[in-house]
Homo-oligomer: A and B are copies of this chain.
Amino acid sequence: MAVDFTPDPATLELRERVRVFVRDEVVPAEQEMLPDTGTGPTDALRQRLQRAAKEHGLLAPTAPVRFGGLGLTLTAQAEILREAGHSLLGPLALNCAAPDEGNMHLMHRVATPEQQEKYLVPLVSGAVRSCFAMTEPSPGAGSDPSMLRTTARWDGDAWAIDGRKWYITGADGAAWTICMASTPEHGGAPAGATMFLVDAGNTGMRITRHIGSLDTGFTGGHCEVVFDDCRVSPDAVLGEVGRGFAYAQVRLAPARLTHCMRWLGIAQRAQDMALDRAGEREAFGQPLAGLGMVQQMLADSEIDLAACRHLIAHAAWLLDQGGRARSETAVAKTFVAEAVGRVVDRAVQVHGALGISYDVPLSLFLREVRPFRIYDGASEVHRMSIAKRAVRRRAAARSPQ
């Protein structure tokens, strides 16, 4: 038991297989990912890639083995999801993209065996997609979840959900939705928020539109979804009534970390491209790599990438040890979301006009990573929480015992 940075050999072997798979099977498919459809990769493309991943034994690395996944630790996921992230289509191909990947984790931790059989198993196999309906348009729940406006009331027979959700990623085409709603006291449970599983066919749930968005990498796009007297039976409750906010944390702590892993893959690819370009393109009588301001950009990105890797690895390891790592995951998320933005931005700059063209995927990366400073908790909200925890931690350390 001592500090050791040696990756597990099995993880390294798996990572190499993912690298080759992404290079040979996924990157070529990027041609089919049009930047400006607004609805992301098609389900047909997703299914084709996931079949290929399954053949290579790479499907669902984050899901437990008993549900059909590879059952990796978060420490191993850090290597695998980053490698997959080299292509915007990589996580989708391996079925470890948001929001499904987070839903797999939540269903594994909170759902009943029946719910797992019905919802989780086909999700892991890639037979279906899912979505997570929490965020609401202003003045509802955004950065401040306590502003939740969607409600569910028990009418003696069923729950009836009413409200409006938006930026629900992957809603169009999802077989089922986890919907977060505010619930009153019920059957001994206190008032709070509750999660409900809603099937796609439910007539009380309606996708009203696709929201055009800067990023375009998610199958099913970002949708606005209306719940209008949407009735679900008691067995649609996920976990216990009134514990929705706690479950949101169960989902988010690892979900924001897996997001970091995937996004770091994008940043690494951007930096690889910048290094290649700097070694090849000449200006002012020498390769770009000989120019000080280019060196500065390249070096700053090397530094950013190294810091990202370590912050993710540490938080993942803490979660693997059973810790909650609230501060560490927030630190990692905040830093990584901003660092990947910087790295991609520098890669664009090193490429000059080529960098902002769609001849290379850097512009697409730029569009894809910007929202990460807002998704999964805006940087400002994480900073507030990091600071408050640090002040409390320090006060506790100083108080008389």
Contact = CB atoms under 8 A, between A and B. Distances in A.
A317 B4 contact: yes
Interface residues of A, number: 99
Interface in A210-252: 211-215, 222
Contact of A310 (B7, B310, B390): B310
A224 to B, nearest CB: 10
A386 B7 contact: no
A138 B374 contact: no
B303 A335 contact: yes
A17 interface: no
Contacts of A9: 1
B213 A75 contact: no
Quickly give the copy total for this chain.
4
A44 to B, nearest CB: 21
A218 to B, nearest CB: 12
Given A3-B5, A356-B374, A394-B279, A303 B334 contact: yes
A283 B393 CA distance: 22
A356 B214 contact: yes
A29 interface: no
Contact of A214 (B272, B334, B366): B366
A307 B386 CA distance: 14
Nearest to A330: B299
A388 interface: yes
Given A142-B352, A353-B166, A211 B359 contact: yes
A278 interface: yes
A164 interface: no
A367 to B, nearest CB: 7
A204 interface: no
A115 interface: no
A311 interface: yes
Contact of A143 (B2, B7, B222, B283): B283
Contacts of A388: 289, 295
B284 A144 contact: yes
B391 A298 contact: yes
A183 interface: no
Contacts of A38: 36
B2 A75 contact: yes
Interface stretch (A51-59, A91-99, A102-110, A376-384): A376-384
Given A36-B38, A356-B213, A357-B213, A307 B294 contact: no
A311 B306 contact: yes
Given A283-B143, A303-B386, A386-B299, A374 B349 contact: yes
Contacts of A314: 5, 306, 310
A9 B211 CA distance: 44
Nearest to A146: B284
A302 B289 contact: no
A370 interface: yes
Nearest to A287: B391
A8 B1 contact: yes
A167 B302 CA distance: 30
A122 interface: no
A6 B8 contact: no
A36 to B, nearest CB: 3
A355 interface: yes
9 contacts: A1-B8, A214-B363, A214-B366, A275-B393, A289-B388, A292-B296, A296-B387, A310-B313, A349-B379
Q: Nearest 10 pairs between A and B by C-beta?
A: A292-B292, A36-B36, A212-B358, A310-B310, A299-B383, A295-B387, A298-B387, A275-B394, A299-B386, A214-B363
